[in-house]
Amino acid sequence: MRKLLIWTMSCAALHGAAAHAQPGGNRDAESELSYRSYVTSTKRIKCLYGYAANKTGDHAAAIQIFEDCIRRWNDVFSMIGLAQMYETGIGIREDAAQSTALMRRAAQLDDGSSYPSLARYHYGVALAEGYGIQKNIAEARTWLRKAAEEGVNEAADYLAQLDRAAP
């Protein structure tokens, strides 16, 4: 099955967080940069640390962080992160419908970042391919067009691919 998500969320802060979050570090004096210090935090910055937890293999912590961020702040970044986990089945049972539902939820939001545009692209692809949802090319085009207008080049490319495949 074609995987929809290409994990494109990378930034210096996340790479720095992952570097400090490596398993086997000094657990007696956890750095405030470690994702472990944010698992139960009430600070929104914790949402970024879900990525670090997932990438270092602490999937349970990633799920806990992402779910809390979604519950507290309707955090788009966390929705995409958790959707990716459901899609791949790494650290959680694979669930295409849950992955797509999270992507749809993220696609419907606008938090001022580029993440909703990325979610719109992935949700459009899910609709076009019937991944975790009934296939709907017309609706897929709507979401892909919106993502393309917002600067997601992959969405424009996917629309062009749909146009070439159209009868």
d(CA 43, CA 34): 14
d(CA 41, CA 18): 17
Confidence (pLDDT) at 35? 67
More reliable by pLDDT, 4 or 122: 122
pTM, to two decimals: 0.79
Radius of gyration in angstroms for the set of CA atoms belonging to the chain, rounded to a whole number: 17
- Which pLDDT tens digit goes with each residue over 102-151? 999 999 999 889 999 999 999 999 999 999 999 999 999 999 999 999 99
Amino acid at 68: D
Confidence (pLDDT) at 40? 77
- Whether 85 contacts 62, CB under 8 Å: yes
Tokens representing residue 148 in the block: 């393309």
d(CA 114, CA 154): 14
- Which pLDDT tens digit goes with each residue over 40-84? 788 888 999 999 999 999 999 999 999 999 999 999 999 999 999
d(CA 71, CA 83): 15
CA angle 162/154/13 to nearest 5° reads: 155
CA dihedral 141, 145, 148, 154 (to 10 degrees): 10
Give the start-to-end residue ranges of the domains of the chain.
Answer: 99-167
- Which pLDDT tens digit goes with each residue over 7-27? 334 333 343 344 334 444 444
